[in-house]
Structures are given as C-alpha cells and as structure tokens.
Structure 1
Amino acid sequence: MLWLGIVILFIIFVIIVLLFSFIHGEFNFSRVKDNDTLSVEMRALFGLIRYRYVIPIIQFKGLTKGILIKSEIITKSSSKLKDESKGQITKEKILYAYNQAKEAIVYTLNLYDWMKQTLAKVECTDLKWITRIGVGDAPETAITTGAIWGIKSSLLGFSIRYVNLTAKPHIDVIPQYNEKQFSTDFRFAGRIRVWFVVFAGVRLISRAAKVKGGIRTWIQIALKTRARVKTAS
C-alpha cells in the first residue's frame, strides 16, 4: 500500500508539473528581394513535443491560380523532413475558410470573448520587425518610411491590446536612399501554460454546447477541414 501511495503521489506530481509547463510558439517571416520564407514552430512538454512547419517557397501566380506554396513539416521524433508538399491558396479556399469561421461564430456563445480571454494569457517573449525600404528617390523614400512607421505603430498598438507583452519589441524601418529595395524580417515568439490551454478547450466546448447544434457544427467543421487537408496532400 505504501508503494501504491508513492506511485499515485508521483503521478499527481508529474501531472501538475506538465500542466504548469509552457507551450512555446514562434512565427517567422522574411522577405529578401523576391524570396519569401515563412515558418511556424511549436514546442511543448519541455521540448519533448516539437512541430515545425516551413514554407520556403511562396509564389503569386495571378488572381485565378492564387498563391503557390511549398511546405515542409519537421517533427521532434524524426528531426528530419517528415512531409513535403506543394499547394495553392486560391480565392475559393479563402472563401471556404471565411465561411467556416462565420459558422463557428454563429454556433458558439460569445466566441469573440473567448478568443480575447485566451489571447490575454499568451505571453509575447520576443517581437521583432525590421524593414528596409527604398523607392529610388530620397524624398519619396522618406515619405514611404514614415507611412510604414505609422502602419507598424498601429498594428503594434492593436496587438498589445490582446496579448501580454513581456519583452521589449524591436521595431525599426531603415530607409535605403537612392536605391530600390524592400526587405522585411518579422518574428513573434510567445508562450502559454498547458493548464490554461486545457481550460480554454473546456470552456470552448461549454460555449458551443449552449447553442443548439454547436457541438455538431464544430465536429463537422473539424471533419471537413481534415478531409480537405488529406485531399490537398
């Protein structure tokens, strides 16, 4: 009986430690000349679980064909490329995602409030956005630099309203006078505790259950999304 009690206490201790651990996320986007790179990385359970999604190629193919992307998925277990695929972001896919989002809002009680409360628990640990801009003329470059500063300031003020900014942001716009150039480097890193993700999931289910057909709608959305992902891959 003593050993059983020790085992139970140990299991409880491990569960508490895991619940109070962090889920870390990073979002990176860079553009240098015509080369775009986007990556998303998630880490959990002290790095035991790791998922990295990389899009090294983004090409605009026109209004009809949309955006061509090449993606790579890397997991912690293999530490190597798990999947490589090509896909397109078209107008139809954007409209489909928009309609699915509208349906989720309709069939979930105060989904917007749930999103605000969840984002408020996200800690921003790193925020960097460096842009180099030049349009070939010094006065026009100065005007463009000021306009970009205004856009960045507005977006930064908007984001601070929703997430907990714990790090000093590094925001800059560097004018490149008398030359044509545009490059940008954006990085956002944040974290949230596991226990709050679990709690947020329970609250989301509870809110959906309070609307007639809410749970069924969320299940249908999940199944449709999974089927489209399999078809695309």
Structure 2
Amino acid sequence: MHCIGNGGFFMWWWIASAAALAVLIVVVLLSSVRVRLKYYREGENDEVDASLSALFGLVRLRYKVPTVELKPWLNGIRMKVAPEETSGVLPELDFAREEIRRFVQRVRKLIAHMKNYKRFFADTLKHVHVVELRWDTRFGLTDAAETGMTGGVVWGLKSALLGVASRWMSFERLPSVTVTPVFNQPTFRTEIVIRTRMKVFRIIAIGAMLVYRVLKRRGGWIVWLRVLLGRSPKESTA
C-alpha cells in the first residue's frame, strides 16, 4: 500500500486550506451589506432609527435618534442619540451653525477634488438595491377643503420624489405610498421606512474607483488627506 509522506500530506493540506479560503472570500464578496432607515414624525416629535447588517448577520449595528430638536438657525441642531437597547439619560450632541458650515465646506472641498464626481455618484447609486420603501402620511387640517387640496399636493410631491429616486436606484419591489387625510381635525404623522442592500464586492469596487478618481484629480489626494485629518479646507491646496 502506498503511503503519503509528510511532504505530500502538507501539500494537500495547503491545497485544501487555500481552496477553503478562496471559497470563503468568494462567499464574503457575494454577501450583502444591508441598511435600514426609518424616520417617524408625529406632531413635534421626531425619531430616526438606523441599522446595518453584514456578513449574513454576523455584523450588526443599530442606532436611534429619538429626538431631533431644531434650534434657532443661528444656534444649529441638537440631537439625542441612543445605541440599541440603551436606557437612562441619552447623550446629547450639539452642532452649532459654524460647525455645520465647516462640515458642508469640507464635503464640498472633497467633492470638488474628484474627477467626474457626478458620474461617480450616478454609478454608485445604480448599484444600490432598494428592498423596501414605505412612506405613510396621515394629516388633517381644521378645514375639510384645505385638507383635500393639501392631500393632492402631498401625493404630487411623493410621486415626483419617487420618480427621481427610480431613475437613480434599482427597486426590487414597488414602493408602498399612502396619504390618508383626516378631515376637520388638525393632525400630522408620517413614517418613512427604506431598506437597501449592496454586494460587498461592489462596495470594494466603489472604494477603489473613489481612490482612482481622487488620484486622477490634480492635487486631489493632498486635499483629501488634509481634510480627512481634520485640517481646515482653507489650509488645503490643490
């Protein structure tokens, strides 16, 4: 009987390990990153619920923003953020108007130092698959005629927004949209739920394309590096 020596055994072990690793990499690349966003508003109360899952549910992140308080425009925005299943006092985040202005300025600086950024964003959104989109609105005014007229305006606005979204993203099923008027009673409640997915290999390809477009823009990588490291956009030069 022919016996496999130590060298042959280790060779087959490495081949089997490499094959198993290759299969694992392919499975991971073909898996999806799923994002679920929910926005709910009733009266003066807002709530945002965001969750992300990847690697077949092995990676899960979820955060809730139960209060989004719009401060006077000169002061900025205040939010209370709570991770999943957090109890007690919620941490409060304040964003002054100047901080928001600087953030927007940095984002614009990054976008300006990408080659053909419009094409990049269009190609990225094309690979976003919308698994579910549900938008329910219930409202009422004291006057029945005004309620009916406003309902038509809301329907038109929703239809226009969905038409724009369908041009940029892929919908796996028809969106569910409702507008329910409540006559002779002032009330307002709206809920938007959107679930999306994107393949991991697509995300990696998008990241690689982002790096490519930044490098193709003259001085782009310098600006991106400085901005991401916290340098003021005014200190960055193309």
User: Is residue 53–residue 61 contact of structure 2 (8 Å, CA) maintained in 1?
Assistant: yes
When normalised by structure 2's length, the TM-score is 0.87
Residue deviations 1:183-228, cap 9 Å, x none? Answer: 1000110000000000010010011001122122222222229xxx
Please provide the CA RMSD for this pair. 1.8
* Superposed counterparts of 1:186-201, under 5 Å: 186-201=192-207
* Superposed counterparts of 1:31-110, under 5 Å: 31-74=41-84, 81=86, 85-110=91-116
User: Is residue 68–residue 88 contact of structure 1 (8 Å, CA) maintained in 2?
Assistant: yes
User: Is residue 23–residue 192 contact of structure 1 (8 Å, CA) maintained in 2?
Assistant: yes
* Superposed counterparts of 1:94-173, under 5 Å: 94-173=100-179
Query: Unaligned stretches of 5+ in structure 2?
Result: 1-10, 232-238
Distance in 1, matches of 2:123 and 2:207, equals 12
Distance in 1, matches of 2:216 and 2:97, equals 33
Aligned to 2:8: none
Distance in 2, matches of 1:159 and 1:66, equals 29
User: Is residue 107–residue 214 contact of structure 1 (8 Å, CA) maintained in 2?
Assistant: yes
* Superposed counterparts of 1:181-220, under 5 Å: 181-220=187-226
Distance in 1, matches of 2:136 and 2:213, equals 40
Distance in 1, matches of 2:177 and 2:187, equals 18
Distance in 2, matches of 1:36 and 1:29, equals 7
Q: How many residues align?
A: 220
2:217 maps to a residue whose letter is V
Answering whether residue 36 of structure 2 is matched by residue 26 of structure 1, we say yes
Aligned to 1:5: 15
User: Is residue 31–residue 185 contact of structure 1 (8 Å, CA) maintained in 2?
Assistant: yes
1:13 maps to a residue whose letter is V
Which one has a larger percent strand, Structure 1 or Structure 2? Answer: 1
| Percent identical | 29
Distance in 1, matches of 2:99 and 2:57, equals 33
User: Is residue 132–residue 173 contact of structure 1 (8 Å, CA) maintained in 2?
Assistant: yes
When normalised by structure 1's length, the TM-score is 0.89
**Residue 82 of structure 2: SS of its match in structure 1?**
strand
1:16 maps to a residue whose letter is V
1:15 maps to a residue whose letter is I
Following superposition, the deviation at residue 58 of structure 1 comes to 1.5
Following superposition, the deviation at residue 93 of structure 1 comes to 3.0
Given the alignment, which residue of 11, 22, 26 partners 1:16?
Answer: 26
